[in-house]
């Protein structure tokens, strides 16, 4: 499955309510539109995604076969320079999915228009 740099952050064991938090750094304070790209597969789950507690579009990881999963645009967020926390919380799974796995590829941020 193609990814941005041939690697993804794989979640190989999860259950509803489990969380994964990753620190990220913003170099320049601005308003950003964010996209969390990933991969999808038959045994992947759904995750609520938040940056510093502010909701981003969810990751819905189910697909009948492995595939890339383009992220959806967030609302513009004002972000300060420095450390922030990206949190993914397992919110369940699609009825057809056989598991709660996930594959997070890349978080992209673009200055908001």
Q: pLDDT class for 2, splitting at 50, 70, 90?
A: confident
- N residues, the chain: 113
Among 79, 106, 81, which residue's Cα sits nearest to residue 27? 81
* pLDDT confidence of residue 5: 86
The Cα 98–Cα 55 span in angstroms is: 26
Copy the structure tokens of residue 96. 């057809």
Please state the pTM of the whole predicted model. Answer: 0.94
Q: Is the model's pLDDT at 108 over the cut of 90?
A: yes
Residue linked to tokens 């940056």: 51
Phi, psi for residue 106 in degrees, rounded to 5: -150, 140
Question: What percent of the chain lies above the pLDDT cut of 70?
Answer: 100
Task: Calculate mean pLDDT across residues 48-70.
Answer: 97
pLDDT(1) > 90: no
For residues 85-89, average pLDDT:
98
Tell me how far apart the terminal alpha carbons of the chain are, to the nearest angstrom.
Answer: 32
């Amino acid at each position: 499955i193609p990814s941005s740099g041939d690697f993804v952050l794989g979640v190989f064991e999860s259950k509803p309510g489990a969380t994964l938090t990753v620190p990220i750094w913003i170099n320049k304070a601005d308003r950003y539109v964010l996209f969390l790209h990933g991969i999808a597969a038959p045994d992947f789950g759904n995750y609520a995604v938040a940056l510093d507690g502010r909701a981003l579009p969810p990751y819905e990881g189910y697909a009948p076969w492995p595939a890339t999963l383009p992220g959806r645009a967030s609302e513009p967020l004002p972000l300060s320079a420095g450390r922030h926390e990206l949190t993914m919380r397992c919110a369940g799974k699609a009825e057809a999915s056989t598991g709660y796995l996930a594959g997070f590829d890349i978080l992209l941020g673009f200055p908001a228009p």
